[in-house]
């Protein structure tokens, strides 16, 4: 299924419903930013841009992978969501993949459901 702005918005809405230890900060960054480039490899990854003049706290102490979540789905494989931050510690990329190792393009009609794991276990 092709990646679209609508898919990235659904992903953001889904993220904001999760019980995350950093949900308040993530919510502020999402309110201050916007979805950027969409990955077209078959995953539903997308860039996220928090404006340079945004006065919001960082998620992380720098650039890199920040948090990963795995969810059951209505298909045989799980859905993984990996959050990355930029050098300021702001959300910069969200990978949304099908299967633990991005085994195939995101299937049409896939829906994440129960959380089955997170990394790190306490952020």
Q: Give the tens place of pLDDT for each residue, 69-117.
A: 999 999 999 999 999 999 999 999 999 999 888 888 889 899 999 999 9
Which of 115 and 44 is assigned the larger pLDDT? 115
Within a domain: 96: yes
Neighbour count for residue 5 (Cβ, 10 Å):
10
Q: What is the mean pLDDT of residues 51-58?
A: 91
Domain count, the chain: 1
Assess if residue 73 is contained within a domain.
yes
Of 14-18, 41-45, 61-65, 87-91, the one with minimum mean pLDDT is 41-45
Any domain includes 106: no
Range of the domain at 69: 5-50+60-101+112-119
CA dihedral 72, 78, 79, 84 (to 10 degrees): 110
Q: Is residue 107 included in any domain, yes or no?
A: no
Q: Is residue 55 assigned to a domain?
A: no
Q: What is the pLDDT of residues 1-31, one digit of tens each?
A: 678 888 899 999 999 999 999 999 999 999 9
| Contact predicate 94/84, CB 8 Å | yes
Name the pairing type of β-strands 33-38 and 112-119: unpaired
């Amino acid at each position: 299924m092709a990646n679209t702005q609508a898919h990235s918005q659904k992903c953001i809405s889904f993220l904001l419903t999760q019980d995350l230890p950093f949900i308040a900060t993530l919510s502020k960054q999402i309110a201050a930013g916007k979805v950027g480039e969409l990955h077209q490899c078959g995953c539903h990854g997308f860039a996220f841009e928090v404006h340079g003049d945004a006065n919001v706290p960082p998620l992380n102490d720098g650039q890199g992978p920040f948090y990963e979540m795995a969810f059951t789905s209505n298909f045989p494989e799980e859905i993984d969501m990996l959050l990355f931050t930029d050098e300021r510690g702001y959300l910069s990329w969200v990978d949304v993949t099908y299967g633990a190792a991005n085994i195939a393009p995101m299937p049409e009609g896939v829906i994440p459901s129960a959380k089955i794991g997170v990394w790190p276990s306490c952020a």
